[in-house]
């Protein structure tokens, strides 16, 4: 790997149920505070817990822009802009084809799609102008590239819950192998519509609102876990070659040092531990390290019966003896499952864990399922824990598994968020 370039992370941006900027995200994570709220989708006459971003973004766009913008690309634009600004960049036109954008989503314009069903089937109206441009899956990527003049590859990934993870991984490869100098990578999702809840409810995988407190509805790895909780939001990072970042005097949060992707080839909805373990092993191999070198794993941890058990077994298979000691947590317990944006949000969380030297917690983990035995960071984060290397893992319907390894950079100036975590 000596002929390949180091790829560093120089910008972060987020819109999520637990914060609409990096400072808010850190505040929520440092207290394991939940952003899961009650959601009552129109027509279903049923309430669901959901990771809700409790604000509208319509006032951030002009009346001429809004017809083109579903809620999903709105959040994508804002989160990507945060990351680009954080990196000290803006207009990428000077890079010509040496800058790229890699985007992950599952449903793209789900809100516009839902509104279109209502217009056709209930209101019997014609489609609004520009409906197709608002609901297409690559709308978020296109809108970001237009605003920031990204002229190289602008690619949209849709590998279910691994979508933005593969987007980040493929951006790594493009920069490391010399095709690009800089890339914006991440994902967005706005799935809190009647059609999406209706479809997921039919899988029998959705959690119902917890009777004691709705914020406790998502309990990954818990003996009494009840299913996944849908969430919305967007998360993006700026990646660039270390040489490029150094030339422009930029500091970095960390190095993206490993990427592994592997498919189960097994079942459209049920995971297979061998595929998950293989992705983890490939990421370790790509980073040139062993299992004992990882100091934290941000797990996929959806709080489904079968999924959590298989993932715990996969970690133990991939990590061997180290699997019993490496700290593991799933932050879906506080922000829910952002589908195509889940990998990107959890990747940002993992980067912050390294930058801020803390272990995020799996909230509401009062009794660990014996079938999910790992070194869980349960209920409360652990502070002042130096993390040299960490892994973020995701898997999706269809069997795509992705693991990303993040490491501290030993030569470049270390970058930290303007708001830091605190145990107080």
Question: Residue 162: inside a domain, yes or no?
Answer: yes
Domain ranges, residue 144: 7-407
pLDDT at position 305 is: 95
Handedness of CA 169, 174, 175, 181 (dihedral sign): negative
The residues carrying an active-site annotation are: 161, 300, 337
Contact 65, 182 (CB under 8 A): no
Contact 78, 57 (CB under 8 A): yes
Task: Tell me how far CA of residue 118 lies from CA of 111, 121, 125, 195, in angstroms.
Answer: 11, 5, 9, 11
Question: Residue 310: inside a domain, yes or no?
Answer: yes
pLDDT at position 420 is: 72
Question: Residue 154: inside a domain, yes or no?
Answer: yes
Question: Residue 221: inside a domain, yes or no?
Answer: yes
Strand order in the sheet with 99-104: 154-157, 99-104, 182-189, 233-241, 7-15, 254-263, 400-407, 389-395, 297-298, 327-329, 375-376
Residue with the bigger pLDDT between 421 and 227: it is: 227
| 3-class state of residue 327 by DSSP | strand
Per-residue pLDDT of 140-173, as tens digits, reads 999 999 999 999 999 999 999 999 999 999 999 9
CATH number, domain containing residue 170: 3.40.47.10
Over residues 323-340, the mean pLDDT reads 97
Per-residue pLDDT of 366-399, as tens digits, reads 999 999 999 999 999 999 999 999 999 999 999 9
Residue with the bigger pLDDT between 125 and 79: it is: 79
The rounded percent of the chain whose pLDDT value lies above 90 is 87
CA dihedral 70, 76, 77, 82 (to 10 degrees): 150
Distance separating alpha carbons of residues 106 and 337, to the nearest angstrom: 12
**CA atoms lying within 13 Å on the CB side of residue 255:** 20
CB atoms inside a 10 Å sphere around CB 120: 12
Over residues 263-289, the mean pLDDT reads 96
CA–CA–CA angle 315, 316, 320 (5° rounding): 120
Cβ contacts of residue 297 below 8 Å, gap of 6+? 315, 326, 327, 328, 329, 390, 391, 392, 393
pLDDT at position 1 is: 41
CA–CA–CA angle 47, 53, 55 (5° rounding): 110
In the predicted structure, residue 237 carries a pLDDT above the cut 90: yes
Distance separating alpha carbons of residues 360 and 26, to the nearest angstrom: 10
Question: Could you identify the residue written with the tokens 């509104």?
Answer: 115
Question: Residue 415: inside a domain, yes or no?
Answer: no
Question: Residue 420: inside a domain, yes or no?
Answer: no
In the predicted structure, residue 193 carries a pLDDT above the cut 50: yes
pLDDT at position 422 is: 65
The rounded percent of the chain whose pLDDT value lies above 70 is 99
Cβ contacts of residue 320 below 8 Å, gap of 6+? 291
Instruction: Give the mean pLDDT of the chain.
Output: 95
Question: Residue 2: inside a domain, yes or no?
Answer: no
Distance separating alpha carbons of residues 217 and 229, to the nearest angstrom: 7
Per-residue pLDDT of 101-134, as tens digits, reads 999 999 999 888 888 888 888 888 888 888 888 8
Question: Residue 264: inside a domain, yes or no?
Answer: yes
| Secondary structure (DSSP) of 258-308 | EEEEEE--S-SSS--HHHHHHHHHHHHHHHT--GGG---EE------HHHH
> What phi-psi label fits residue 108: left (phi over 0), alpha (psi between -120 and 50 degrees) or beta?
left
| Secondary structure (DSSP) of 156-223 | EE--GGGHHHHHHHHHHHHHHTTS-SEEEEEEEE---SHHHHHHHHHTT-BPPPPSS-GGG---TTBT
Number of domains composing the chain: 1
In the predicted structure, residue 416 carries a pLDDT above the cut 90: no
pLDDT at position 135 is: 85
Distance separating alpha carbons of residues 256 and 232, to the nearest angstrom: 25
- Tell me the β-bridge partners of 263: 400
């Amino acid at each position: 790997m000596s002929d390949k370039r180091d790829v560093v992370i120089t910008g972060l941006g987020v819109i999520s149920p637990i914060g609409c900027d990096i400072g808010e995200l850190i505040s929520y994570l440092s207290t394991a505070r939940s952003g899961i709220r009650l959601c009552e989708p129109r027509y279903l006459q049923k309430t669901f817990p959901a990771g809700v971003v409790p604000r509208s973004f319509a006032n951030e766009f002009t009346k001429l822009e809004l017809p083109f913008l579903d809620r999903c690309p709105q959040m994508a634009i804002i989160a990507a802009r945060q990351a680009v600004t954080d990196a000290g960049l803006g207009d990428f036109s000077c890079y010509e084809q040496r800058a790229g954008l890699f985007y992950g989503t599952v449903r793209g314009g789900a809100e516009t799609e839902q509104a279109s069903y209502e217009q056709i089937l209930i209101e019997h109206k014609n489609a609004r102008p520009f409906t197709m441009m608002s609901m297409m899956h690559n709308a978020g990527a296109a809108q970001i590239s237009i605003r920031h003049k990204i002229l190289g590859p602008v690619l949209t990934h849709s590998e279910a819950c691994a979508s933005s993870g593969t987007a980040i991984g493929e951006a790594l490869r493009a920069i490391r192998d010399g095709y690009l100098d800089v890339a914006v990578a991440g994902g967005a999702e706005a799935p809190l519509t009647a059609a999406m809840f209706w479809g997921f409810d039919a899988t029998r995988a959705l959690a119902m609102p917890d009777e004691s407190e709705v914020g406790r509805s998502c309990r990954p790895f818990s003996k009494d876990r009840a299913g996944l909780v849908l969430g919305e939001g967007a998360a993006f990072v700026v990646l660039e070659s270390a040489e490029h970042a150094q030339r422009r005097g930029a500091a970095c949060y960390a190095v993206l040092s490993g990427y592994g992707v592997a498919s189960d080839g097994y079942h459209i909805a049920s995971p297979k531990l061998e595929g998950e373990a293989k992705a983890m092993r490939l990421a370790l191999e790509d980073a040139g390290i062993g299992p004992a070198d990882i100091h934290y794993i941000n797990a996929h941890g959806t709080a489904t019966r079968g999924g959590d058990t298989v993932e715990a077994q996969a970690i133990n298979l991939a990590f061997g003896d180290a699997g019993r000691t490496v700290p593991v947590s799933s932050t879906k317990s506080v922000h829910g499952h952002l589908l195509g944006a889940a990998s990107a949000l959890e990747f940002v969380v993992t980067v912050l864990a390294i930058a801020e030297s803390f272990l995020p917690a799996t909230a509401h983990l009062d009794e660990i399922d014996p079938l999910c035995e790992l070194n869980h960071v349960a209920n409360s984060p652990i502070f002042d824990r130096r993390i040299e290397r960490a892994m973020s893992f995701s898997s999706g319907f269809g069997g795509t598994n992705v693991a990303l390894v993040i490491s501290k950079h030993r030569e470049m100036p270390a970058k930290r968020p303007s708001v830091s975590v605190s145990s107080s």
